[in-house]
Structure 1
Amino acid sequence: MLIMATIGVLQTELAKYLYENLVSVPNIRIYGPKPSENVHRGALCSFNIEDIHPTDLATILDQQHGVAIRSGHHCAQPLHRHLGVNASARASLHFYNTKEDVDDFIQALNETVSFFNMFK
């Protein structure tokens, strides 16, 4: 049980770190509540970047930066309909991820957003 508790603490810290760093990305909309002592978030974040389709974002992150995220409905079509979006991007973490992985992801995400903004 100690191992599972340790993994739980690590994932809570990583979830908070991911959220805190994602909010710095220009034109991002993060779905779900801000993490706090009273609000537990899983170690993932679903989000959209204004004027960039999540699949395009995921493709460039993968092909240009070697960063894998998910895009699509995530088996939550009714929620997407309620939010008024046709898809979202999702970054997910697990116990083998580190804060450095989050930093690398945020850097790659910012570079990808800049790439797409060149075409506006």
Structure 2
Amino acid sequence: AWLLGIEAGDTQVAGQLLGKRLILTEIPAYRELGMLAQQGAVSARSFVVLSYALCGFTHVASMGIFVGGFAALAPGRRDDLASLGPRALLGAVLATLMTGALAGILFHGQASLIR
């Protein structure tokens, strides 16, 4: 989380939110981020970075949808698709993390974004 540009005091919370997004979906993670922002428990910078880093279909359920959907289209390639699923998930996670990092680079301290 620190490499994304999350402030040092928010790294544990950010890691938990990113883990929730990966295992569950982005909905519970966004709910918790919203509550933390209302309480002032995360900085404005961390809020912006996490808002972008949590966005996307980068969770285990989406990998299942990917494999199941494409396996229905090409039943003979089911094993190939199943082995490709975790790599596609890793690529998707890295893409959303890069988006969050870029948001952190472009952030200029407008605290009004979270009010």
* TM bracket, shorter-chain basis: 0.3 to 0.5
If each structure's helix is expressed as a fraction of its own residues, which one has the higher value? Answer: 2
Q: Which has the higher contact order (CA 8 A, sep 6+)?
A: 2
Decide which structure has the larger Cα Rg and report it. Answer: 2
